[in-house]
Structure 1
Amino acid sequence: MKIKSFMALGATVAICGCQTSNQADYMQIGYGPSFEVAHAQCEMRKGSVDQGYLAIGSPAFVAGAGLGNALDNAIAEDQYMKNCLIISGWKRAPHGKGAAATTAAATGSPPTPYGVARAPGSWINTALLDWSAANNKCSAGDKAACATRTKLGAQLRAAGVNPTPV
């Protein structure tokens, strides 16, 4: 009986011991707080996804239920952290890409999130920023910028957004 308990405990420690959450595992995909701030905010709230349990029966059954509940809670917390950090503008990096994002952050230049050099999220955000930049250049007399502004304005209006200068 004790051997099975120790094996289950050893497997749990091995699985949970592999979890890491440092900045090298993440890359910036949008604008938002620094990794440290985003991680701290998510870390404070991740306990809210934990579920309790009630088990009645033999000591082995109660221990198994507790272990199962602990594993379920760890999985739920990990999923919460993943989603919370995505909302904050950070995503788990593909294998081998996190170090490049960390290096770029250390040099002061933010990494280009998935090829989007400007606003993250939908194309509308980027189109609005591009329209605004083109509008400013058009006001200064740039004919090419006026054509770009007209083209982007038509695309945005078709999507239900009416761009106006700020």
Structure 2
Amino acid sequence: MKVDRSKLKKSSSEVPADCKVLIDKLKSLSTDDLCKELKDIKTWTYGKCELYHWADILDIFDAILEKSCTKENDKKWTLYCDLPGNDQLKQLLLEILRFTALLIEHSFSRHLYNSMDHLTTLLTSCDMSTVLYVLNLLYVFSKRSNFISRMNPEKKQGLVLRLIHLAE
């Protein structure tokens, strides 16, 4: 789901200049260029800022996560990102998951993140790289905030069930 703009509130904090430059750059890129740009960001050097400054980027990411999670009618168990011929989408998905983990680790107001349903679905991927990147992002959430413990009970239960299935 896209960032819930009703939860957004104006803050007195300014977007750090380097964050603003990166946000503006990422918003202007095509999907191919977005993948290349995200791949080049290995460590976080952009300062810490509120997650709501990244709402437009998170909405772009959410659309890609949603596309990756769709299931084909004739292959009900296979996620779109796992179908043959979707290598570019898979690479972009992995870069988004990796970058989002960096972003969450270096931001606050994490309660604005609204793509947990997609992450739960991606845990069903047949590609273990995807599952590992999702688990890494969930780990960042769990170590940096009480986001997971404060999730809606239904969503939290769905996540817990997926994690139990993986553990088995």
TM-score with structure 2 setting the length: 0.22
Structure exhibiting the larger radius of gyration computed from Cα positions: 1
